[in-house]
Structure 1
Amino acid sequence: MTRTGPYIETDAIVIGGGFGGCNSLYKLRNLGLSVKLIEAGGAFGGVWYWNRYPGARVDTEMPSYQFNIPAVYKRWNWSERFPGDEELRRYFKHVDDVLGLSEDTFFNTIVTRVQYDTTLRRWVVLTNTGLTARCKYLVAATGSSYKKHSPQFNGLDKYAGRLVHSADYPESLDVKGKRVGIVGNGASGLQIVQNLAKEDCELKVFIRTPCFAIPMKQRNILPDEAEMMKGYYDGIFDRCYKSTSGFPHNTRFQSALQASPKERKELFDELWARGGYSFLVSSYYDFLLNEEANSIFYDYWAQQVRARMTDQKKMDLVAPLKQYMLVGTKRPSLEQDYYEMIDQPNVALHDLKKSPIIEFDSTGIVTGNGETTEHHDLDIMILATGYDAVTGSILDLGITDKNQIPLSEKWKNGVLTNLGIMIPDVPNLFMVYGPQAPTSLANGPPFIEMEVDWICKAIQKLQTEGLESVETTQEAAERWKEHVVSVSQHTLYPKTDSWYMGANIPGKRREPLIYLGGMPRWWQQCTDALEQWEGFHTSS
């Protein structure tokens, strides 16, 4: 239910109702604070509230993708290794039932402006429902994948068919007997194609950059097994917190260049069969640091994919023998039978690099290369074009700092934060799962728990020391930015245009949006900074 009202005042406000927001509300209440949460959707779940397209599911395996809250998990068992969107929404309903989060939440409410009152030293939050809220502490848990990106193709307004964005996929979309096109080859595009290919439709997949996908190896989890695994939860969660990427997988501190071809194949075969992200996170450490090592991974992957396909032209497009991309520098996807599905005769692939989209018209799209054009008749067009990731949703909050300078102006020359948690001249505002932190290259729930724990420790420290507010210094934020950039430059990530680098949105500044130094390195700096407020300014 949407609750509207003219005004509320509380100790803390949390914006966003996904993992970050729910965790923040739960832990801030445990500090004894009065807390309210504001959520744009009609229920908790964040991206899992909105993602309802065919085949939507998480790519982190259970039990590591959940809240480490015994009261929650002792009465919940996952039914699949990689749960789908429906099960994840049921999980968030269970979390609410156990923790009673709804009683402090405003659903269907969009924050339109956030400003700092320097006289009262409080944040004022304005919303689309007319609600005005004031608080001492503000947590922006808006996530990395909320503000959808819809490319402005020429003539898009002329298209008379059904236009669907993957983030707004309707409850029921009848594709039977229809000509369906899809643009976008990230996780959502892959999952939609993988499922719609099984339907009675003609599916045309427009590919600019083929996805890098590895086997999910999905399976059901029986209740007895799920219950048994709870005896290992402490060890699994502890491993997540201490690992570079937040995954509990085994790690291997060996270069791919030091292993023999026979050793590499044996390891690759083992990890490939295991499924999930094991092929990358449990393998040779240097595939994201060294192009020669990266090519070894690519060559193995391409051979595995091509062996599953029969159509020569299709396999040459999606898994060419000559390496076309650096493995892992765009978000890898997990697939179940994607390559078999695109190999089917009812699925056509179109190479947008050879013949890009020129325009939409009333009946479909026109592609061409300056010499020839082709018209594609389409009844339904699906844009699986992702999000203005990492920064888009927080910039949409309309934040202004204590000097009345908008965040969009503060970041016009690049993102500037300290530890990915605080922004200069922005007192008592904390970001969860935001830019310049491990964020999207970490397993979300355990990483978010660490961020929220730091925020709670910072607030406790303020209260213990009788302080009113904390903010990062400009100098500390500039040092952190230099560190984020420096670490990135020692990897292969900057060599690829990806949303990790802000390169998927026209006009968006290209810069490393994710801290690539790993969770332990980031956490150590967070811990050190908090001891003596190093890099922060406090006031009483």
Structure 2
Amino acid sequence: MSPAAEVKGNGVAATSSMDVVIVGAGFGGLYQLHYLRKMGYKCKVVDNAGELGGQVPSSQTDWTWSERFPSWPELRRYFQYVDEKLDLSKDVQLNTGVKSAEFDVNSCRWNVSLSDGQVIDCKYFVLCTGFAAKSYVPDFPGMDKYKGIMHHTAQYPQEGIELEGKKVAVIGTGASGVQTIQEIGPQVGHLTVLQRTPNLCLPMNQHKLDPEVEARVKKEGGYEKVFDYRRNTFGGFHFDFLEKNGDEDTDEQKKELYEKLWDGGGFRFWLATYKDLLFDKKVNDTAYNFWAEKTRARIKDPKKKDVLAPLLDKQPHTFGTKRPSLEQRYYEVYNQDNVDVVALKATPIETFTEKGIKLKDGRDLEFDVIILATGFDSVTGGLVQIDIKGTDGVSLADKWSKGTWTYLGMTTANFPNMYFLYGPQGPTAFANGPTIVELQGDWIIDAIDYCEKNNKKTMDATAQSEAGWTKHVAELCDITLFPGTDSWYMGANVPGKPRESLNYAGGVPRYVRETKEVAEKGYAGFNFDAPYDTGKLGEKVNALKLN
């Protein structure tokens, strides 16, 4: 009888058998598929989406990008190109989600149940769901009353919505809100932005790339040099913090540096500045003052200046302790006569109505369309929304309900042969996505290959190593300015979610050293082929983690 036809010890009948099941057909999932498949492993990728893709480009050097920050249509074309070149789609099943996954302690394999009714039996279960896979919508009163068009940005129709001449509201000014507002502002009849916290946006400095220049850079090995260099920078970018503190420069020197970083665009003003910017509040204040001066100069209305870019004495949060969004024309949109902004902390939403939103100051606002740019249950949400049960029968959601526990930001105890990347307690939010996906991806691929070459049935983080890593992540965060801000970095954007450091703040080079050292020591901190008590599932809940 083939493994696919067997009824497993937990009563689940598998319909097919794989070496590896990978969840997510973005960059991370496709990276795993390509390299594991090259090594001879039988793999399958599943994804809820209807096409390949993600938010970040790969390092295919024979592809030529048209602009500095590719638009989503270009990213789609890129993924189509990679698919054709590497023949990925044959092992990818789209429009299919994972309903549940359960580790069978008898066979030491995973049973993964899909939304189409399939159950896949596999040895390794790799989650590449990304840090923003689960959208979040606050429980606003009366939302079910509203009769107009309403969508969260994550579910915004691909074909778009006819907005010309319409009265539109955008709730939220995080990354998706900023992108939405600057795009639709010139189109709509009237736009009302309902802002909880100002976004300390940075100039994208978008521009077209010269194909001839790009070709010369590739020919001279420039791309390879950049890829090598970024692994040695704090954020995994092609730039890094300065080897000096802010108090080593005069005010005039600081301003000169800030001007240079500002003109460079992207995240340079955040992650290529003084090395103590995210540790020393006084230095941070100088950056905030520069940001406010630059931003306020672009906003004409004095009231809007104070709402969108407050002065230091009304600072919404320390600069850089929430991810700054990159923008092109965001602040200019507010200079339009048809655009208003409501500060929700001063004037909260009272209730939704059939025609729009009523504010607590008595205003009754009518809208044809409401766009919810209210963010995501970030970093952990995409993982815990899947019903995943480990060796003790406890779900991942229950295990992490009062705090997240991982080892190396890629594994968690009692969930053997399960790995995740670009998730909790890795450098995720503090680093460049492609860099982290490649570094963690390589580590996971090597770990799987180690198990196979050494005939190991299971690889499972110990509770001790998990507790040590979680403490390490918290300690790294505690010496920064991040804990002083309520952000999704700290899990503070979703009511009831534990407030904790969800990201590794030690930088990419240190993370690489620490994870590499574990591997070089024969994967220290992991148990291999540990015996599991099949008669006491559910009784081995670690009191430290759930009480």
Partner SS state of residue 181, structure 1: strand
CA contact (8 A) 1:194 1:342 kept: no
Partner SS state of residue 309, structure 1: coil
Match of residue 453 from structure 1: 442
CA contact (8 A) 1:22 1:101 kept: yes
Partner SS state of residue 383, structure 2: helix
Identify the match of residue 135 of structure 2 among 148, 153, 158: 148
Shift of 1:412: 2.1
Match of residue 174 from structure 1: 162
Shift of 1:524: 1.0
Match of residue 66 from structure 1: 57
Aligned counterparts, 1:81-160, within 5 A? 81-160=68-147
Identify the match of residue 260 of structure 1 among 232, 250, 257: 250
Q: Report whether the alignment pairs 1:165 with 2:152.
A: yes
Aligned counterparts, 1:12-91, within 5 A? 12-46=20-54, 48=55, 66-68=57-59, 72-74=60-62, 76-91=63-78
Runs of 4+ in 1 over 6 A off after TM superposition: none
Counterpart of 2:417 in structure 1: which amino acid?
N
Counterpart of 2:264 in structure 1: which amino acid?
R
CA contact (8 A) 2:57 2:75 kept: no
Match of residue 308 from structure 1: 298
Deviations 1:477-523 (A, max 9, x none): 00000001111100111111111111111111111111111111111
CA contact (8 A) 2:19 2:43 kept: yes
Match of residue 249 from structure 1: 239
Aligned counterparts, 1:59-458, within 5 A? 66-68=57-59, 72-74=60-62, 76-170=63-157, 171-230=159-218, 231-321=221-311, 322=313, 323-368=315-360, 372-458=361-447
Shift of 1:6: 7.1
Partner SS state of residue 286, structure 1: coil
Partner SS state of residue 28, structure 1: helix
Q: Distance in 2 between matches of 1:405 and 1:273?
A: 51
CA contact (8 A) 1:497 1:504 kept: yes
Counterpart of 2:97 in structure 1: which amino acid?
I
Q: Distance in 2 between matches of 1:216 and 1:533?
A: 41
CA contact (8 A) 1:18 1:44 kept: yes
Q: Report whether the alignment pairs 1:470 with 2:459.
A: yes
Counterpart of 2:127 in structure 1: which amino acid?
A
Q: Return 5+ residue gaps in structure 1 as ranges.
A: 49-64
Partner SS state of residue 198, structure 1: coil
Partner SS state of residue 508, structure 1: coil
Counterpart of 2:350 in structure 1: which amino acid?
I
Match of residue 10 from structure 2: none
CA contact (8 A) 1:36 1:105 kept: yes
Counterpart of 2:198 in structure 1: which amino acid?
P
Counterpart of 2:329 in structure 1: which amino acid?
D
CA contact (8 A) 1:214 1:276 kept: yes
Shift of 1:26: 0.8
Q: Distance in 1 between matches of 2:395 and 2:512?
A: 29
Match of residue 535 from structure 1: 525
Partner SS state of residue 40, structure 1: coil
Q: Distance in 1 between matches of 2:141 and 2:339?
A: 25
Partner SS state of residue 14, structure 1: strand
Counterpart of 1:430 in structure 2: which amino acid?
Y
Counterpart of 1:296 in structure 2: which amino acid?
T
Partner SS state of residue 376, structure 1: strand
Partner SS state of residue 37, structure 1: strand
Q: Distance in 2 between matches of 1:325 and 1:485?
A: 20
Q: Distance in 2 between matches of 1:305 and 1:332?
A: 13
Match of residue 60 from structure 1: none
Counterpart of 2:30 in structure 1: which amino acid?
C
Shift of 1:463: 2.4
Partner SS state of residue 399, structure 1: strand
Match of residue 9 from structure 2: none
Q: Distance in 2 between matches of 1:291 and 1:273?
A: 24
CA contact (8 A) 2:14 2:121 kept: no
CA contact (8 A) 1:6 1:130 kept: no
Counterpart of 1:16 in structure 2: which amino acid?
G
Partner SS state of residue 285, structure 1: coil
Which range moved further: 526-535 or 81-90? 526-535
Shift of 1:200: 4.0
Q: Distance in 2 between matches of 1:164 and 1:212?
A: 25
Match of residue 491 from structure 1: 480
Deviations 1:201-250 (A, max 9, x none): 20000111010101111001132122223230111001111111110114
Q: Distance in 2 between matches of 1:397 and 1:409?
A: 11
Which range moved further: 143-152 or 221-230? 221-230
Q: Distance in 1 between matches of 2:332 and 2:491?
A: 32
Counterpart of 2:502 in structure 1: which amino acid?
L
Q: Report whether the alignment pairs 1:525 with 2:533.
A: no
Counterpart of 2:77 in structure 1: which amino acid?
R
Counterpart of 2:357 in structure 1: which amino acid?
I
Q: Distance in 2 between matches of 1:390 and 1:281?
A: 21
Match of residue 57 from structure 1: none
Counterpart of 2:317 in structure 1: which amino acid?
M
Q: Return 5+ residue gaps in structure 2 as ranges.
A: 1-12, 531-547
CA contact (8 A) 2:234 2:240 kept: no
Which range moved further: 113-122 or 403-412? 403-412
Q: Distance in 2 between matches of 1:183 and 1:436?
A: 29
Cα gap change, 1:458/1:17 in structure 2, threshold over 3 Å: closer, same or farther?
same
Shift of 1:189: 0.3
Q: Distance in 1 between matches of 2:462 and 2:402?
A: 18
Deviations 1:416-436 (A, max 9, x none): 110011110111111111101
Q: Distance in 2 between matches of 1:439 and 1:273?
A: 26
Partner SS state of residue 288, structure 1: coil
CA contact (8 A) 2:66 2:208 kept: yes
Deviations 1:1-30 (A, max 9, x none): xxxx97110111111111110101111112
Q: Distance in 2 between matches of 1:411 and 1:310?
A: 47
**Backbone CA RMSD of aligned residues:** 1.4
Q: Distance in 2 between matches of 1:361 and 1:6?
A: 48
Counterpart of 1:415 in structure 2: which amino acid?
T
Counterpart of 2:243 in structure 1: which amino acid?
F
Shift of 1:413: 2.2
Shift of 1:464: 2.6
CA contact (8 A) 2:65 2:209 kept: yes
